[in-house]
């Protein structure tokens, strides 16, 4: 969602004209990772290598980490 802001100052005479407009996009949930694959180059007898690519949209804020779940 995009929010638009303008600011005015006020003294005993009244309000100023509007400031320049500032538009800000609020962060939302990012897209899910894509291209999730087993990486045979890093898979061993005791570890499974998994690779993925970042989703197409980060939600307007950098991705901080990922959670991996198993059944």
30-71 residue pLDDT tens: 999 999 999 999 999 999 999 999 999 999 889 999 999 988
Query: Rounded distance, CA 43 to CA 14, Å?
Result: 70
1-40 residue pLDDT tens: 789 999 999 999 999 999 999 998 888 999 999 999 999 9
Query: Rounded distance, CA 45 to CA 38, Å?
Result: 14
């Amino acid at each position: 969602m995009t929010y638009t802001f303008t600011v005015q100052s006020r003294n005993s005479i009244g309000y100023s004209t509007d400031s320049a407009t500032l538009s800000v996009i609020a962060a939302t949930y990012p897209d899910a990772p894509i291209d999730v694959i087993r990486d045979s180059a890093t898979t061993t007898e005791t570890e499974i290598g998994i690779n993925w690519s970042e989703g197409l949209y980060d939600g307007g804020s950098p991705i901080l980490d990922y959670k991996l779940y198993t059944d």
